[in-house]
Amino acid sequence: MTSALAPQSSPAKAPIRAIRVGILGFGTVGTGAYRMLEDNREAITRKIGFPVQVVRIGIRDPSKPRSLDAALFTTDLDSIINDPSIDVVLELIGGTEPAGALVERALRNGKHVVTANKELIAKHGSRLVHLAKSLGLDLHYEAAVGGGIPLVQPLKHQLAGNDLLKMVGILNGTTNYILTQMREEGADFEAALAEAQAKGYAEADPTNDVDGFDTAYKIAILASIAFGKQVPMDGVHREGIRSVTAIDMRYADALGYAVKLLGIVQPVDEDKVLARVHPTLIPKSHPIASVRGVYNALWLHGDFVGDVMFSGRGAGSDPTASAVIGDLIDVGRNMAVGGSGSAIPYDTGLKTASIDNLETGFYLRLRVQDRPKVLGHIATIFGAHSVSLAAMEMKTLSQGKGEIVFLTHPCQEKNFRAALEDLGAERMVEEISSSFRVEQAE
Ligand code: HSE
């Protein structure tokens, strides 16, 4: 008689001698990942239980000088995803195509996939993770958000039991560097951007970073994990940092705030979140306000864990490689025990609320005529829209011209917008120079 608890015999499997890896893309992240595998070979082998062997590297431009054996490289990316001897594909190309089709075909060919591709996961993560899971494969993407900072795995695992009440992230190193230079050096946006480009932090076409797309992908990925359903990208409200000036930085500083490009998500009800990316005044006392330069951070509040903050280097070759290789080690450990288990699927269908429904404070800078009754008139317009003023700075610019900066108490976004429209129609208001949302101290 056999006991139900007796060990079952399973078909004999050939022992694994090495994980055979194909790399797609050999730019900043690919070269870093390869170097980490070389430099830390012994420790990585020990941690997995067998060595990692890079079999092939797929590249676009064969004429670029490279220090490795030319036989490792191929421009035929299909030959990597069709190679039956390859166990794991590292997709380090970026963008949705051809990367998306390559990832899908690699999975269908039975390969685990590790990717650093934020746009692909933000747009197609639910479908691809479901596919991986259905095929018994791993699909990891820690490097897609926050470079070397562990964010994806803690949200999937250690924090998964919490109801998340808010997440606030500085998730783009380029814009955080630019804003830090503007605050600390008094530089204007264009000068700070040019410096970031000269230092290699910003790309020649900085749109993806400075207009908030990169942050939007990243906060959408984190929210999709945290809320268990994919956040639709067209439901993420997005504004970049081109409207921030050195003058606003100075006023914000004097009022006790830093200006940061934040990705913010909060649940609105059971199946709905408000997800937004915009330049924000945040009190200097908030832990995320002191995250400088190219550093990234994620602050969150969970119902049981309370406040948590992660920070570190969010971009660059080495930190991103650290996340890619961490994922590869996870795949290797799963392979060692004959399985997978780290593809945690999430569905589609999360609803997003309009920013009109946001309740937040505002910063507003106006150029006005400097004469009697102006201030009272402006205050009356705010009052008519139920917007309550919290602080004010005022100065004379020249004969008969003044500049006023207001902070409001939290109010409905749509009420503030309506007040702005009325102010814009007033002759005494010569210019609505800028307005930004203000986060409250936690
Ligand atoms: N361009 C990104 C940043 C890095 O500046 O943070 C890659 O996500």
Question: Which domain CATH number covers 381?
Answer: 3.30.70.260
Given a cut of 80, whether residue 12 has pLDDT beyond it is: no
CA-based nearest residue to 202, from 348, 297, 108, 316: 316
Q: Report residue 207 as tokens.
A: 């749109």
Q: What is the position in ligand 1's atom list of the atom closest to the CA of 118?
A: 8
Question: Could you tell me if 172 and 278 lie in one domain?
Answer: yes
CA-based nearest residue to 144, from 183, 84, 103, 186: 103
Ligand 1 centroid – CA 42 distance (Å): 30
Within a domain: 5: no
Express as a percent the part of the chain with pLDDT over 70: 96
Report the distance separating Cα 338 and Cα 331, nearest Å: 10
Residue 7: pLDDT band by 50, 70, 90 thresholds? very low
Within a domain: 73: yes
Distances (CA, A) of 342 to 160, 226, 324, 383, 432: 14, 16, 14, 53, 51
Ligand 1 centroid – CA 111 distance (Å): 27
Within a domain: 299: yes
Q: Whose CA is nearest to atom 2 of ligand 1?
A: 172
Residue 14: pLDDT band by 50, 70, 90 thresholds? low
Question: Could you tell me if 300 and 187 lie in one domain?
Answer: yes
Ligand 1 centroid – CA 314 distance (Å): 7
Residue 372's identity, in one-letter code, is: P
pLDDT tens sequence across 289-309: 999 999 999 999 999 999 999
Within a domain: 11: no
Ligand 1 centroid – CA 209 distance (Å): 7
Question: Could you tell me if 81 and 133 lie in one domain?
Answer: yes
How confident is the model at residue 233, as a pLDDT?
Answer: 97
Within a domain: 419: yes
Report the distance separating Cα 234 and Cα 123, nearest Å: 10
Cα-Cα end-to-end distance for the chain: 64
How confident is the model at residue 399, as a pLDDT?
Answer: 87
Question: Could you tell me if 110 and 245 lie in one domain?
Answer: no
Please report, for the chain, how many H helices and E strands are present, in that order.
14, 18
Of the residues 301, 336, 371, the one at which a domain ends: 336
Within 10 A of 293 (CB to CB), how many other CB atoms are there? Answer: 14
Domain that holds residue 287: 152-313
Testing ligand 1's pocket by substitution, the residue of 117, 179, 214 carrying the most ligand atoms inside 8 A of its CB is 214
Q: Answer yes or no: is the C-beta of 172 below 6 A from any ligand 1 atom.
A: yes
**Mean pLDDT in residue range 31-36:** 97
Question: Could you tell me if 172 and 63 lie in one domain?
Answer: no
Q: What is the position in ligand 1's atom list of the atom closest to the CA of 177?
A: 5
Given a cut of 70, whether residue 2 has pLDDT beyond it is: no
Chain centroid to Cα 287, Å, comes to 18
Task: Sort 84 into a burial class: Cβ within 10 Å, 0-12 / 13-18 / 19+.
Answer: exposed
- Reported as type and span, the H/E element at residue 20 is strand 19-24
Residue 345: pLDDT band by 50, 70, 90 thresholds? confident
Within 10 A of 301 (CB to CB), how many other CB atoms are there? Answer: 17
How confident is the model at residue 4, as a pLDDT?
Answer: 46
Q: Answer yes or no: is the C-beta of 209 below 6 A from any ligand 1 atom.
A: yes
Of the residues 336, 367, 399, the one at which a domain ends: 336
Within a domain: 345: no
* Beta bridge partner(s), residue 391: 407
Q: Answer yes or no: is the C-beta of 316 below 6 A from any ligand 1 atom.
A: no
Given a cut of 60, whether residue 8 has pLDDT beyond it is: no
User: Structure pTM?
Assistant: 0.94
How many structural domains does the chain have?
3
Q: What does pLDDT average to over the chain?
A: 94
Length of the chain (residues)? 442
Given a cut of 80, whether residue 176 has pLDDT beyond it is: yes
Active-site positions? Answer: 218
Residue 380: pLDDT band by 50, 70, 90 thresholds? very high
**Mean pLDDT in residue range 12-31:** 88
Q: What is the position in ligand 1's atom list of the atom closest to the CA of 175?
A: 5
CATH of the domain at 35: 3.40.50.720
Question: Could you tell me if 396 and 291 lie in one domain?
Answer: no
Query: CA angle, corner 407, sides to 406 and 412, nearest 5?
Result: 115
Highest-confidence range of 13-17, 54-58, 267-271, 395-399, by mean pLDDT? Answer: 54-58
Ligand 1 centroid – CA 315 distance (Å): 5
